[in-house]
Amino acid sequence: MSKLLVLLLLFMVGCAKMTEEKREKLALEAYSQGMAAYTRKDYKEAISRLSEALKYLENLTPQEIKSAKYTIAESYYLSKDYINAVIYLEDFLFYYPESPESERAYFMLVDSYMKVAPDAYRDQSYTLKAIDKAKDFLTKYPNSPYGDKVMELIDQAQSKLAKHEYLIGRFYEDFGYYYSASLRYKNLLINYPEQISEAEVFYRYIKSLLLVKKQAKKQEDKYKKWIEDAEKEKGSAKSEEDKRAIQKRIDFLKAEIERWKNIAEESYKEGSRLIDVYRETYGENNYYRMLKEYAK
pLDDT band per the 50, 70, 90 thresholds, residue 2: low
Can you tell me whether residue 60 is helix, strand or coil? coil
pLDDT band per the 50, 70, 90 thresholds, residue 108: very high
Give the tens place of pLDDT for each residue, 123-157: 888 899 999 999 999 999 999 999 999 999 999 99
Mean pLDDT, residues 51-73: 92
How many Cβ atoms are within 10 Å of 144's Cβ, its own excluded?
Answer: 16
Q: Exposed, middle or buried, 116 (CB in 10 Å: 0-12/13-18/19+)?
A: middle
- DSSP string for residues in 179-202: HHHHHHHHHHHHH-TTSS-HHHHH
Mean pLDDT, residues 240-268: 94
Rounded Cα distance, 272 and 296, in Å: 10
pLDDT band per the 50, 70, 90 thresholds, residue 28: confident
- DSSP string for residues in 206-262: HHHHHHHHHHHHHHHHHHHHHHHHHHHHHHT--SHHHHHHHHHHHHHHHHHHHHHHH
Give the tens place of pLDDT for each residue, 154-180: 999 999 999 999 999 999 999 999 999
Question: Over 90: is that where the pLDDT of 6 sits?
Answer: no
Rounded Cα distance, 24 and 40, in Å: 25
Q: What is the pTM of this model?
A: 0.76
Give the tens place of pLDDT for each residue, 278-294: 999 999 999 999 999 99
Rounded Cα distance, 157 and 235, in Å: 57
Backbone angles phi, psi at 255, to 5 degrees: -65, -35
* Alpha helices (H) along 40-145: 43-53, 62-78, 82-95, 102-116, 125-140
Work out the mean pLDDT of the chain and round it to a whole number: 90
